[in-house]
Structure 1
Amino acid sequence: MIRIATQFMILACILSGVLGYSQKKKFSSIPNILQQLDPDEKTDSWVLVYNNYGKGQEIKTSGSKINYTPQFSGFNLFPSEDSFYYIAYSAGGKIGYVTDVEGLKAFVGKIDNAQEAAIILASEGYIVDEEFKDLAGNYHEDASSYYLDLGKLTSKECPYQKTHYTITVNKSTGALTNVKDNGTYIELYNKKCANNPRLLKIEKKEDPNKDEPKKTPKRR
């Protein structure tokens, strides 16, 4: 009886582990994602700064306080944002800055969690879409890989559109082992779009003979 109970407990632990891994989790806000940074680059200390309308706010610090120069440009993980982020760090007595996604990718180094995987994928144009987290802002994982559902701006022309993907990232190597296209989830037309369906419907409703002169009926 004790043996059966023990086997049942082991099976329950295995199942709970599998379910815990496979369950989808939504990414929180962009600042919270960035706060999960655990850089491999050797630094004495560093600070992550959020700049909004010219005002800088330190949202994560590591190590002792450093004297840095406020930056006027930086990286962004969501293309429609007006604000930006940058990192100031101290290494070997020198101050350095991370102000673009390529620099951020190098700063992160080896992927340690799903949040860092999303940050690395930002350099490939993928985004955590905070407005559509069910489609393009969640992830799950197993023992070998992270599986991220992210968005990507796939057209800036008419119509403006976003596509969502499921990207598999190997935990050991950080390599993208699979990218699945799940299709477009946003298509937006503006007034300047010549192929705007709404404008086409309006044109069809208009009288095709509105510009023709009215014909006077003939007298009998």
Structure 2
Amino acid sequence: MERITSKIILFAFLVSGTLIYSQAKKKFTSIPGLLQRMIPNEKVDFWVLVHNNYGKDQEIKISGTKKGYTPQFSGFDIFPEEDSFFYIAYSSSGKMGYVTDLAALKEFVGKVDNAEEAAITATIEGYVVDEEFKDVAGNYYEDGVNYYLDLGKLTSTECPYQKNHYTLTVSKATGAITTVKDNGTYIELYNKKCKNNPRLLKLEKKEEPKDESKKPTGSTKRK
């Protein structure tokens, strides 16, 4: 009886430990790291992920036997940056194809095969993996049914530029976002053009000219 009880306790401990481990949050490595984990929806002979930064191409990942392709002068970006974009060149049934926008990227990814692809699909809906704030907007955990992604989103395009973070539940069966939980604002960004920038308001207050008319006038001596 004691041996059976011990086995039950051990089994319960292992199950609880597995559940806790499976729900431990993992941080996404980087934007290129996400894209390198893609598994193309259709059968391709070769594909290459290229990052163009300030007009210079860098091949981030090559899958299959490399073939010649035409460099592209525009592409997609799942985290907007100036002077930077990604594109994909691929060969299917002997024909070259190119992914240069988010709609084509969604088609290229197709079925969601892993957490990284779930995040890529979410970015097409306007969410972002915020590499600077991975604790709140760049991590995930999963169970047997869903991926649970903590991602960010720019919620204000006026000053201040505001970011909120969300927990998205993505179905492993369909790849669809089934629920979205709003976790609130995690950062507000001001720049020099923001009239309501607190720092600028403080500077303006310091530089406010003094009213000369309020200065006390000196007394005049009688002769």
TM-score, normalised to structure 2's length? 0.87
> Map of 1:11-160 to 2, 5 A cutoff?
11-80=12-81, 82-160=83-161
Question: Cα RMSD over matched residues?
Answer: 2.3
Change (3 A) 1:204 1:33: same
Alignment check: 8 A CA contact 2:55 2:83 kept = no
Structure 2 distance, partners of 1:182, 1:75, is 28
For structure 1, list consecutive stretches of 5 or more residues without a partner in the other structure: none
Asked which structure has the greater CA Rg, the reply is: 2
Structure 1 distance, partners of 2:82, 2:66, is 28
Structure 2 distance, partners of 1:140, 1:33, is 15
**Deviation for aligned residue 1:32:** 1.4
Structure 2 distance, partners of 1:54, 1:82, is 8
**Deviation for aligned residue 1:211:** 6.7
Instruction: Provide the secondary structure at the position in 2 that maps to 1:127.
Output: coil
Residues matched between the structures, number = 220
For structure 2, list consecutive stretches of 5 or more residues without a partner in the other structure: none
Q: What is the CA deviation profile of residues 17-57 of structure 1, one whole-angstrom value per residue up to 9, with x for unaligned ones?
A: 21122111111011111111112122222111122222222
- Identity among equivalent positions (%) equals 64
Q: Which amino acid is 1:178 matched to?
A: T
Alignment check: 8 A CA contact 1:139 1:147 kept = yes
Structure 1 distance, partners of 2:158, 2:213, is 35
Alignment check: 8 A CA contact 1:21 1:143 kept = no
Q: Which amino acid is 1:185 matched to?
A: Y
Instruction: Provide the secondary structure at the position in 1 that maps to 2:155.
Output: strand
Structure 1 distance, partners of 2:77, 2:162, is 19
Alignment check: 8 A CA contact 1:87 1:99 kept = yes
Change (3 A) 1:204 1:12: same
Q: Which amino acid is 2:114 matched to?
A: N
